[in-house]
Chain A
Amino acid sequence: MEILVCIKQVPGSNKVEVDPVTGVLKRNGADSKMNPYDLYALECGMKLKEQYGGRVSVITMGPPPATAVIREAFAMGADEGALLSDRAFGGADVLATSYTLAQGIKKMGKFDVIICGLQTTDGDTAQVGPEVSESLNIPCVCNVAKIDKVEDGAIYVDMEMAHEFEQVKVQFPCLITVKKDILQPRLPSYKLQKATDNKEISVYSLKDMDDQDKKHYGLSGSATQVQRIFPPVSDKEQETWQGSGAELADKLHGKLKQLKFIS
């Protein structure tokens, strides 16, 4: 079985601030890590490979340092890795990102199942997975809480909905996005890390793609435009209270009483 896991490098911390005077974005703690949700996707890929045989490949898009997350995936047991990297891919929104990924996936080969994490911690949109599936014209099941089995060219999964689980059978090739905690992700193995130290990572740029029209990638291929960024504003009535613990407790008690939350 050919399994592909989509992964992403995200900022190590989400402490981003905007300077209210200059409007400049200040990103503190600039270290990066693999999107935590992707670890669950990788674990699912590894488990499927262990049970049914085959290979696990990973794909990511980003600047050259993003190969770090591919190396991490190797240390967890991934067999192949590809990085999609080109300045023409910069400034991409969900539409352009998923189109680029779909193009890269076609370049990498044929896959039975593509697994994505539910969402990323930097974008938090949970949209890239389903948009990739549309670009590849394959079925997609999001919010997968359990992978039951693989049989006769189909995967059986439970999709979590608001009040129920839908048990579905999806024909290959397909894409699933898996929930956090679906399985406990394994830790990267030092041995594997050493063994894959020099393993080759394919790097694809625009000229490697089937569709080389710049207008479909990056900012040009994006349907949404960020007009401005600004710090959140609040128009609420506000009071600040200071004092000793006992004073503040007393004041809050009085307020809760006044607001009729307690008698």
Chain B
Amino acid sequence: MGKLIVHQDKVTDIAAMVALCPFKALEDNGGKLEINAGCKLCKLCVKKGQPGAVEFVEEEAGPQVDKSLWKGITVYVDHVEGEIHPVTLELLGKARELADKIGHPVQALFLGSSIEDKAKELLHYGADSVYVVDSPELMDFKIESYTAAFEAYINKVKPSAILVGATPVGRQLAPRIAARFKTGLTADCTILDIHDNTDLVQIRPAFGGNIMAEILTTNTRPQLATVRYKIMNAPERSAEARGEIVKLEVPAAKLQSKIEVLGIIKKEKVKTIESAEVLVVAGRGIKKMEDLEMIRQLADALGGDVACTRPLAEAGWMDATHQIGLSGRTVRPKLIITCGVSGAIQFVAGMNNSEQVVAINSDPEAAIFKVANYALVGDIYEIIPELIEKIKQGGALA
């Protein structure tokens, strides 16, 4: 790939160079500018530093992968005991769109036990082929067994890209596959596109901050990306089934695991913020825990649920299951009202696809306003009680 070389004679101001690096990877070592292990090779010092001070030297490119040998966009079918997770359908919709751009087929990969009947349903959502590995060894999720079946599929079909739902299963299976094939994986993509050379354009929030990164897997195949539920749009179910079901046999001996599933405990069904149509969100503009009552009242008045940002969940003001954002839940309600939320990208990534976004914040520069349909510059403590009162006067819910 390449490396950075410092030309000391071209460094005119060491302190300025040190200050330039966002990763603190440039150091003043007794009058010499040095690069430490914190370097992320963002090459900012090359572009913005004193001319010629730091040079990027390309290294000889290694062997190139033959991308034409890898065909198709595969969607991993996420399911619990054959019950298909809706993120799968959303990904099939996206896969169809990407595949059509480059003239590739769409495959679905379904791993499990006694799942053949369920596989047929996927033919109504744009898959050209549904590959099924049906084995008692795949009854419960065990990472080694699932990875082995997945590996057999990749070796046989050679898909160019694989989309995996960022579910509890997908989030461990995808990295295991990526490491096995020594290939790239991009987590929690919020936008996907594809280049003519079949490179998948993966866009996600990065560096833990208010920045989006566009990521490519340029020289390995397959390319892997995970996407959260409710980020992409699910396609309409077509009345007619299209495509074929292909059974793949993987020898049971290959599906052995050092993990033994002893039992399954069902979780109690709880109302989740993901399923709410209206959400009222509390942010750091809420001064004390008792004031959350006003947020609850507004949510009740609108027939919705309450949610919060990371700082509030970390402070224990609200349960973590109500937290929106990359480290919390992704929501897509019909209406979301954020109250005193600044709008860090980690948060925005978890609610950006809400249909109507109302943001209330006293800071006219708050980042949340960039994603709001209605930006109310004002004090939540003045607006919300007044609004609750008006709704109550207005009578019954719609």
A125-B178 Cα distance, complex, nearest whole Å:
13
Q: Chain B residues with Cβ under 8 A from A99's Cβ? A: 179
Contact between chains at B39 and A91 (CB < 8 Å): yes
Also in contact, A224 and B387, with CB within 8 A (given A26-B22, A166-B140): no
Number of B interface residues in the complex (CB < 8 A): 116
Which of A95, A124, A131, A168 is the one whose CB lies under 8 Å from B261?
A: A168
A134-B35 Cα distance, complex, nearest whole Å:
31
Q: Chain A residues with Cβ under 8 A from B377's Cβ? A: 240-242
Q: Chain A residues with Cβ under 8 A from B42's Cβ? A: 25, 91, 226
Q: Chain B residues with Cβ under 8 A from A212's Cβ? A: none
A250-B37 Cα distance, complex, nearest whole Å:
56
Kindly state whether residue B289 has any CB partner on chain A within 8 Å: no
Kindly state whether residue A54 has any CB partner on chain B within 8 Å: no
**B377 CB, nearest partner CB in chain A, Å:** 5
Q: Chain B residues with Cβ under 8 A from A256's Cβ? A: 302, 335, 391
Kindly state whether residue A164 has any CB partner on chain B within 8 Å: yes
Contact between chains at B374 and A162 (CB < 8 Å): no
Q: Chain A residues with Cβ under 8 A from B30's Cβ? A: none
Measured CB to CB, the nearest residue on chain A to B391 is A262
Contact between chains at B39 and A263 (CB < 8 Å): no
Q: Chain A residues with Cβ under 8 A from B379's Cβ? A: 245
Also in contact, A226 and B206, with CB within 8 A (given A166-B261, A168-B262): yes
Contact between chains at B187 and A127 (CB < 8 Å): yes
Q: Chain A residues with Cβ under 8 A from B38's Cβ? A: 62-63, 65, 90
Q: Chain B residues with Cβ under 8 A from A132's Cβ? A: 179
A180-B327 Cα distance, complex, nearest whole Å:
10
Measured CB to CB, the nearest residue on chain A to B260 is A169
**B167 CB, nearest partner CB in chain A, Å:** 6
Against B, the Cβ 8 Å flags (1 = close, 0 = not) of A5-34 are 000001100111110001011110010000
Contact between chains at B85 and A236 (CB < 8 Å): no
Also in contact, A16 and B209, with CB within 8 A (given A63-B24, A95-B183, A166-B264): yes
Contact between chains at A94 and B80 (CB < 8 Å): no
Contact between chains at B260 and A219 (CB < 8 Å): no
Number of A interface residues in the complex (CB < 8 A): 110
Kindly state whether residue A160 has any CB partner on chain B within 8 Å: yes
A196-B167 Cα distance, complex, nearest whole Å:
41
Measured CB to CB, the nearest residue on chain B to A92 is B40
Contact between chains at B210 and A18 (CB < 8 Å): yes
Contact between chains at B144 and A139 (CB < 8 Å): yes
Q: Chain B residues with Cβ under 8 A from A141's Cβ? A: 143, 259
Contact between chains at A253 and B41 (CB < 8 Å): no
Kindly state whether residue A87 has any CB partner on chain B within 8 Å: yes
Contact between chains at B383 and A226 (CB < 8 Å): no
**B214 CB, nearest partner CB in chain A, Å:** 4
Q: Chain A residues with Cβ under 8 A from B330's Cβ? A: none
Contact between chains at B261 and A167 (CB < 8 Å): yes
Contact between chains at A139 and B143 (CB < 8 Å): yes
Also in contact, A169 and B262, with CB within 8 A (given A14-B208, A124-B208): yes
A207-229 CB contacts (< 8 Å) to partner B: 215, 218-220, 222-229
Kindly state whether residue A121 has any CB partner on chain B within 8 Å: yes
Q: Chain A residues with Cβ under 8 A from B171's Cβ? A: 126-127, 142-143
Which of B211, B302, B358, B391 is the one whose CB lies under 8 Å from A231?
A: B211
Which of A158, A163, A224 is the one whose CB lies under 8 Å from B266?
A: A163
Against B, the Cβ 8 Å flags (1 = close, 0 = not) of A239-263 are 1111111101111110111011111
Q: Which of B175, B207, B364 has the most CB of A within 10 A?
A: B175
Kindly state whether residue A57 has any CB partner on chain B within 8 Å: no
Contact between chains at A238 and B372 (CB < 8 Å): yes
Kindly state whether residue A202 has any CB partner on chain B within 8 Å: no
Q: Chain B residues with Cβ under 8 A from A219's Cβ? A: 1-2, 41
Contact between chains at A226 and B215 (CB < 8 Å): yes
A187-B91 Cα distance, complex, nearest whole Å:
43
A133-B144 Cα distance, complex, nearest whole Å:
10
Contact between chains at A125 and B188 (CB < 8 Å): yes
Contact between chains at A17 and B375 (CB < 8 Å): no
Q: Chain A residues with Cβ under 8 A from B32's Cβ? A: none
Kindly state whether residue B69 has any CB partner on chain A within 8 Å: no
Kindly state whether residue A237 has any CB partner on chain B within 8 Å: yes
A246-B376 Cα distance, complex, nearest whole Å:
12
Kindly state whether residue B118 has any CB partner on chain A within 8 Å: no
Kindly state whether residue B53 has any CB partner on chain A within 8 Å: no
Q: Chain B residues with Cβ under 8 A from A197's Cβ? A: none
A26-B175 Cα distance, complex, nearest whole Å:
30
Which of A131, A234, A242 is the one whose CB lies under 8 Å from B175?
A: A131
Contact between chains at A163 and B267 (CB < 8 Å): yes
Kindly state whether residue B62 has any CB partner on chain A within 8 Å: yes
Q: 11 A-B residue contacts at CB 8 Å? A: A16-B209, A26-B22, A122-B207, A160-B168, A169-B262, A225-B216, A231-B212, A236-B373, A241-B376, A249-B384, A261-B334
Known contacts A17-B211, A134-B180, A168-B260; 8 additional CB pairs below 8 A are A14-B344, A99-B179, A121-B208, A127-B174, A170-B259, A236-B371, A241-B378, A262-B397
Instruction: Give me the interface of B with A, judged by CB distance under 8 Å.
Output: 1-3, 22-25, 35-42, 44, 48, 59, 62, 80, 85, 140-144, 147, 167-169, 171-176, 178-180, 182-188, 202, 205-220, 257-267, 269, 278, 301-302, 320, 326-327, 334-335, 344-346, 348, 356-358, 360, 364, 369-379, 381-384, 386-387, 390-391, 394-398
